[in-house]
Structure 1
Amino acid sequence: MTYLKKMVGEKIREIRKHKGLTQEELSERAQIKYTYLGDVERGVRNISLESLEKIMNALEIRPGDLFDYRELNLSSNEIELEAILEVHHNYLKVKKIEDVKMIHVITKEIFKRMEERG
């Protein structure tokens, strides 16, 4: 799950709920499957521009409204953690296995010392 998919999905959910709509009602208005909408809101499904436009039209919002995150009530720690883990995963997956193992050993030692300090 990418950071942007999660952010867009959370924003769609927030706007939908603010407008008092269920997923079924919004999906009917947008002429998309409600299961697809649920996946989009959870950030587990890529959304096409065509579907995004249908949802924005059904919610009566502009693109700027969808990408304005200043008032989005997200668990920022969860979003931040996912973004950090994704960056580290992408970094490590192109490294040699020996380097990844060494980083793992170092990381385990750091966590062990952190736990000892309480």
Structure 2
Amino acid sequence: MGTLKMIIGDRIRFIRNLKGMTLQQLSLATGLQPSYLGDVERGKRNTSLDSLEKIVTALNMKPEDLFEYREVDINSEEFEISSVLEAHNQFLKEKKIEDVKMIHRITKDIFKSIEGNS
């Protein structure tokens, strides 16, 4: 199995799950069969650029988002932190700048409160 197929498939699955979409919902949005999409996510199938474009569009992402990948040791603390940060980053990319600023202020206040109580 090609490593690139696995990376892209993992990334598609990660973003689809992050957005709370099922394979069935992605299938409806792309016109591609759920079984085909599942094979793509598992890196078992080559996908055409046309199909990849449908997937990227349905997930409201940019093509380059498929390649935001770096290897992290799953036993390290960094794995958990990087996973959470990546999920937050994907979530915040879809929000208005005013909302992102508000979330940032709230987060800072929460950490000030936590640090003040310890």
Residue equivalent to 1:66: 66
Residue 73 of structure 1 and its aligned partner are, at CA, apart by 9.5
2:22 and 2:72 mapped to 1: Cα distance? 19
Q: Name the aligned partner's letter for residue 16 of structure 1.
A: R
Q: Name the aligned partner's letter for residue 27 of structure 1.
A: S
Question: Where does 1:20-99 land on structure 2 (aligned, <5 Å)?
Answer: 20-70=20-70
Write the deviation string for residues 61-104 of structure 1: whole angstroms up to 9, x where unpaired.
001111111488989xxxxxxxxxxxxxxxxxxxxxxxxxxxxx
Residue equivalent to 2:10: 10
TM-score by length of 2: 0.59
2:2 and 2:71 mapped to 1: Cα distance? 20
> Which consecutive unaligned segments of at least 5 residues does structure 2 have?
76-118
2:72 and 2:49 mapped to 1: Cα distance? 21
Q: What is the aligned-residue identity percentage?
A: 52
Question: Where does 1:97-116 land on structure 2 (aligned, <5 Å)?
Answer: none
Change (3 A) 1:3 1:71: closer
Change (3 A) 1:7 1:49: same
- For the Cα contact (< 8 Å) 1:11–1:72, is it kept in 2? no
Change (3 A) 1:44 1:61: same
Runs of 4+ more than 4 Å apart: 71-75
Change (3 A) 1:74 1:26: farther
TM-score by length of 1: 0.59
- For the Cα contact (< 8 Å) 1:5–1:45, is it kept in 2? yes
